[in-house]
Amino acid sequence: MEYRTLGQTGMEVSVLGFGASSLGGVFHKIDEQAGIRATRLALEKGINYIDVSPYYGLTTAEKVLGRALEGVPRDTYYLSTKVGRYGNDPEEGFDFSAQRVTASVDESLSRLGLESVDLVFCHDIEFGDLDQVVNETIPALRTLREQGKVRFIGVSGYPLKVFTEVIERTEIDCILSYCRYSLNDTGLEKLFPFLRDNGVGVVNASPLSMGLLTQRGAPDWHPASEEIRTACQRAARYCADQGENLSKLAIRFSTGNPQVPTTLVSTANPEHIEQNIRWLEEPADGELLAKVREILAPVQNQAWLSGRPENN
């Protein structure tokens, strides 16, 4: 397993991170014991960065993760959780107030069975008021940092605009960006110089673009256009015809850039943990990658709307 430094945090994180959303049954119902085995196997195989949120499974993921980490030495992994998102309703599912953020971190620590977390992200800030995030949410997290409950502070989201706006207005340690550094969308690349100049680390999530870059294809709820879906399925069929797996190519691509310290992949299946790590160790197929990128070129960097219109 390769490790890279996350911004200026000093944390040496595995290039493949463990996204714990699956532990909450976000994608489909899971076997809790299998999820616990998957978590521990990931740690045994050298994955040392785990990301979770109270939103995943409406606190289920944090509870299962807490059980999975029982007895695991705290100095063998880094862990991030989130604040601000607690449901799907754009009006009622988000609360970035200082009072809720403070309570949320304490609740997460209790579910996880920990005294502190390494990193807390403000979750999907495009659904909130960025003025509140900058002037209320992040200061509340700084207070928690002073209390020793939080080491580093970040923001997460889909539109790239939210990252530049927050970083220009206040200091943060890290961003979590999803679906913006993958085979079909490398839009995050344009922010790399800006992030580096501001000492902000990058956590990349969803290298499979929430299911677009899989043989099965995206779920019905996926916000991508039909054009994007069709192009990704063409790429998947081409890979299959070559005896390859598009997901393997996608994970190798997203983890291959040294400017991306870690990429989160979520699974509650121990076999998939083994498979993903094995894929990292196999030689890259440059010819296949070039052909797939050619197939995806017509939809490259096409994004979808997420959150409030003013935040896109």
Asked if 192 contacts 163 with a C-beta cutoff of 8 angstroms, the reply is: no
Distance CA 14, CA 110 (A): 26
Distance CA 312, CA 164 (A): 12
**Sole residue written with tokens 């809790």:** 32
Point out the catalytic residue in the list 3, 49, 55, 56.
Answer: 56
* Residue 178 appears among annotated catalytic residues: no
Distance CA 54, CA 57 (A): 7
Q: Which of 79, 76, 85 is nearest to 66 (CA)?
A: 79
- 288-253-22 Cα angle (round to 5): 120
Distance CA 123, CA 304 (A): 18
**Sole residue written with tokens 């996204």:** 19
Distance CA 180, CA 284 (A): 21
Residue 80: CB atoms within 10 A of its CB come to 28
Please state the φ and ψ torsions of residue 16, each to the nearest 5 degrees: -105, 120
How large is the greatest C-alpha to C-alpha distance in the chain, in angstroms? 56
- Active-site amino acid positions: 56
